[in-house]
């Protein structure tokens, strides 16, 4: 496990971005093998704060990915668990996940896997904890009625099977589980209580 401690959030973010870029260059993925996980349910695909829009606006459009190629979970399907199961199979068919990039929430959740989630959990539909809903209200102008209460997410078990894990942790009150993964990179600022 690598622990990278930097002075502030911007430095940690820049370091993580360079590491992700280098991983992509080394892995040289095919344009049809892009998978993005973690998605609030019930929001339109073009809503600016969901992962579908975020990935296109901040990443895919800059690296020349064909819009029809990446598989991004859909939180609007009729059968959300079937969507998760299909995504799990697609990741296996693609040869597994090369790099999992996640974060730790202020309540200690790992990439939306709330506290108490099984360490062998798979991609699934999960009800969000009230702490997560309250934290996400910032993306909905503080209107709790608009904040999704469920999300599609990669389970801890699925992410532990990836070849490399990067957890970006900034701020205080962050818990950590991925120290057991043999190829984890933790990028954080100095505000962590255990750093």
pLDDT in tens, 140-187: 899 999 888 988 888 889 989 988 888 888 776 554 555 667 777 777
Radius of gyration, alpha carbons of the chain = 16
Share of the chain above pLDDT 90, in %: 11
Other CB atoms within a 10 A radius of the CB of residue 77 amount to: 14
Sign of the C-alpha dihedral computed for residues 54, 50, 90 and 20 taken in this order: positive
- Residue 44: pLDDT band (50, 70, 90) is low
Does residue 123 carry a pLDDT above 80? yes
Express each pLDDT in 61-104 by its tens digit.
777 777 777 777 778 888 999 989 998 998 888 888 888 888 88
Per-residue model confidence (pLDDT) at position 9: 84
Express each pLDDT in 108-117 by its tens digit.
777 778 777 8
In the block, tokens 């002075």 appear at 7
- Apex 37 CA angle, 31 and 43, nearest 5: 110
Does residue 131 carry a pLDDT above 80? yes
Other CB atoms within a 10 A radius of the CB of residue 185 amount to: 22
Per-residue model confidence (pLDDT) at position 41: 55
Per-residue model confidence (pLDDT) at position 29: 67
In the block, tokens 């401690």 appear at 5
Could you give all domains of the chain from N- to C-terminal order, each with its CATH number? 2-26+33-189 (3.40.50.1360)
In the block, tokens 């990278």 appear at 4
Q: Which of 64-68, 126-130, 131-135 has the lowest mean pLDDT?
A: 64-68
Per-residue model confidence (pLDDT) at position 143: 93
Express each pLDDT in 3-28 by its tens digit.
888 888 889 888 988 888 888 778 77
């Amino acid at each position: 496990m690598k622990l990278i401690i930097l002075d502030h959030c911007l430095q940690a973010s820049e370091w993580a971005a360079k590491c992700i870029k280098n991983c992509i260059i080394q892995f040289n993925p095919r344009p049809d093998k892009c998978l993005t996980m973690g998605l609030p349910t019930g929001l339109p695909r073009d809503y600016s704060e969901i992962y579908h829009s975020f990935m296109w606006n901040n990443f895919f459009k800059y690296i020349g990915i064909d819009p029809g190629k990446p598989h991004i979970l859909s939180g609007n399907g009729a059968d959300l668990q079937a969507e998760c199961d299909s995504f799990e199979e697609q990741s296996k068919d693609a040869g597994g996940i090369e790099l999992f990039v996640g974060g730790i929430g202020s309540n200690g959740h790992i990439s939306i896997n709330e506290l108490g989630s099984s360490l062998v959990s798979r991609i699934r539909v999960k009800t969000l904890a009230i702490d997560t809903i309250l934290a996400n209200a910032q993306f909905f102008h503080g209107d709790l009625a608009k904040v999704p209460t469920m999300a599609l997410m990669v389970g801890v078990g699925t992410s532990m099977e990836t070849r490399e894990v990067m957890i970006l942790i900034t701020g205080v009150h962050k818990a950590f589980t991925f120290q057991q993964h043999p190829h984890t990179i933790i990028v954080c600022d100095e505000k962590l209580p255990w750093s």
